[in-house]
Amino acid sequence: MKKLIEEYFEQNRELMIRDIMRLVRIKSDKEEAKEGKPYGDGPAEVLAVALEMASEMGFKTRNYDNYVGAIDFDDQKNKLDILAHLDVVPGGDGWSVTEPFNPVVKDGRLYGRGTIDDKGPAVAALYAMKAVKDLNIPLKAGVRLILGTDEECGSSDIRYYYGIEEEAPMTFSPDASFPVVNIEKGGLQGKFESRFEESTETPRIVSFKAGIKSNVIPGEAAAVVEGIDPEEIRDCCDAVT
């Protein structure tokens, strides 16, 4: 059986990559809500395309008001939920191999925003269901793939879904690289502030800025510093390097 499954994925590899790229091309970071589209156009579009992909494979699908989509393996009651998501963080700057929403395969790797988080794993889970179906592997219970569209901004999509549906007794979430991630860093989204007496004494930091979103590690940072002799900075940098 293992050999059959491996062969199946060898044969379907290109199709799977094609489908991941199809989703990566859709810019699906959160936008302002519109009527019937709680996270804007991009997340609704990527969800529609993914559900169409699944129904072309012969699965029943349901769109929960553009919050999440569900794909059922068959008519049995689901005992396993697979949670993946199709929204992404913003494209950001500094890409070298390609632009964020123009996926390419280079040197055996797929580049583009969301390839690993989480469009790639979402499509892999869908193909896993397709493999079980095409290879006629019998299942004793139902499996449901749930595709969210607000994971990166607080998971209000999943709260909406579980307000309507029951949780299955088993759940896993393919949301990063293979095989299993059993721990993730915590997130503290706080606001820190302090007040100082106004002063124009130098040297001083006038402003600083970094990052595009609170759950994205900043790629660059910039500060405006006043009252430092450029020579001193050079000496300091030399000392560091």
**Contacts with Zn ion, residue ranges (CB under 5 A):** 117-118, 175
Cα separation, 8 vs 17, whole angstroms: 14
- Exposure of 230 by Cβ count < 10 A (0-12 exposed, 13-18 middle, 19+ buried)? exposed
**Cβ of residue 185: shortest distance to Zn ion, in angstroms?**
13
Q: Which residues are catalytic?
A: 87, 151
Which residues lie closer than 8 Å to 54 by C-beta, 6 or more apart? 61, 71, 126, 145
Nearer to Zn ion, 90 or 142 (CB): 90
**Cβ of residue 5: shortest distance to Zn ion, in angstroms?**
25
**Cβ of residue 173: shortest distance to Zn ion, in angstroms?**
8
Nearer to Zn ion, 19 or 151 (CB): 151
Nearer to Zn ion, 31 or 175 (CB): 175
What would the two tokens of residue 7 be? 């062969």
